[in-house]
Each structure stands twice: as structure tokens, then as C-alpha cells.
Amino acid sequence: MFQLPSYQKALLLTTVFFVMCSTIWAQDKKDSINFDNPHLEEFAYPFSDLNYISPRFDRVNQNNGTYYNTYLLRTVLTIPHIPLHFRIDLPFATSNASGKAITGLDDISLRSVFVFHQFKRWLSGAALKLIIPTNSNSNIAVGAWQLNPAYGFLHVFRDSKGSFGLTTDYRFSIGSNKYNNPNIKVLGIAPTLDYWGKNSFLGYYPTYTYNFVSKSWVIPFDVEFGYQFVKKWWASVEYIVPMGKNKPFKDEFGIKLRHNFSRAGAILDK
């Protein structure tokens, strides 16, 4: 049987997924929901028009005193009148794990997200992320092609005062790894609960992960607060700390900005 190289398999699967997504439209729309909050990034993109850029800084403090800093530019682009969105993450990272600070291009990720069903105030959707190795440095990049499919649902409270939801995903590596790291097989379970104020939000956004290679769970505490400080501009801070016996890192915090340069304020109507 004809065999494709690993990166061509990943690109082929992603192309097929994009084509499938572009044929699916939202259904059973009965309520108008205001989604003027920046944290709806995983699958709930029910807008006829949503485009934004988001520069971010994230720092992971390791248990041995080293750190891993990420400087990321996220861009989300929308196909008009279809609940299909494309997300591009361009990250640079700095790590001192080798004893000195090293900066380089981290692995790039491309993600397509779509909402394929809405019933009253319930939404469900799916996503697929392709992680492209940059092979910049073993202390920064993973060095393997990865795919990350996801599925989830979201319920928005009345008067759009908040939401709760659940998303599951599975991230796995494809083909060989340049740095001879173990294969990646990680299940993610992400329950969410938040409150939306007039110009702010407060949410609990953990992702519980199970690593099938190391056979271990990581259960983090993850809270984020965001505020709209000027029209179309949001700022938020996030803090993450692992709980339980398995603590692969000490803690993590992030600072995010987001500019919505094009957005519709309600659910897609047709």
C-alpha cells in the first residue's frame, strides 16, 4: 500500500477536515446569545463575523527553579456566514533549562473550529489542531508533528450572564521525533464555569490531562479574570497551579491582550 510521509499525512487529514467543516451549518437556532467575551476560544464561535488578534505572555515555573516563557501572537479569522473559524498561533519561547537562557521559535499550531449545532442556549462543536514542528531547539520545541481533535458543548445562562461547558480532546504525535522524545498520547478533559459581567468576566478553565505514556494525571487549578478597558480591547490574567500528587511544574501565569477588529454581537442567524 502506498505510504505518505508523516507530515503529508497530517496535512492531508487537516485538509479533509477543513473541507468537511465548510459543508456544515449551524442548526435549530432559537435564541439570540450575546457572546461579547474573549474567553470563548475553544469551540464556541457562533458568530457570522469574528476576527481578532491577541498578543500573549505565558510563564511556566518548573519545580527545579528553571522557567519556560512563551511570547505568542494568536490570530483568529472567520469565513463569513459560516460558523467556521481558523486560529493561527505563532509562538516564540525562552527557556533556561540548559543552564542558560535560549530563545527560539516554538512549534506553530493551526486550528479549525466550528459550531455544528445550536438548540436554544446549548451549543456543540468540534475542532482539529495541527501542530507543526519548527525544530528550533530541544529545550523549546517538541520536534514532532501532532494532531489534536476536540469535541465539546457549552450552555449559556439566561441574559448571557455566564456559561458552563465541557470539552474533550486527544493530542498525539505522528511519525518520528527529531529529539527522540517519547510519543505523545495525551487526553484532555476541560470543564468550564464562568460569570460574565458588563465589561468583565471571571472563569474557571482547567484542562485535566491524562498522559498514556507516563500513565499519569495532571489536575490543575486554573482561574482567569478579564476586563474590557476600551472598546474592542480586552485584557486578562490567568493563574494555573497543579493539584494532587503529580505536579510536573510549580505554577503558571499568563497575561493576554485581545483586539476584536471585526465581530458580530450575536449568534449566527442563518
Count Cβ atoms within 10 A of the Cβ of residue 125 and give its class: 0-12 exposed, 13-18 middle, 19 or more buried.
buried
pLDDT of residue 185: 93
Question: pTM value?
Answer: 0.79
pLDDT of residue 43: 36
Domain 6-263 is found in CATH 2.40.160.40:
yes
The ranges of the chain with pLDDT < 70 are 1-50, 80-83, 117, 136, 176-181, 262-270
> pLDDT, tens digit, for every residue of 155-214?
888 877 888 999 999 999 987 666 666 788 999 999 999 998 888 889 999 999 999 999
CA distances, 26 to each of 33, 123, 147, 206 (Å) = 14, 9, 25, 27
pLDDT of residue 15: 56
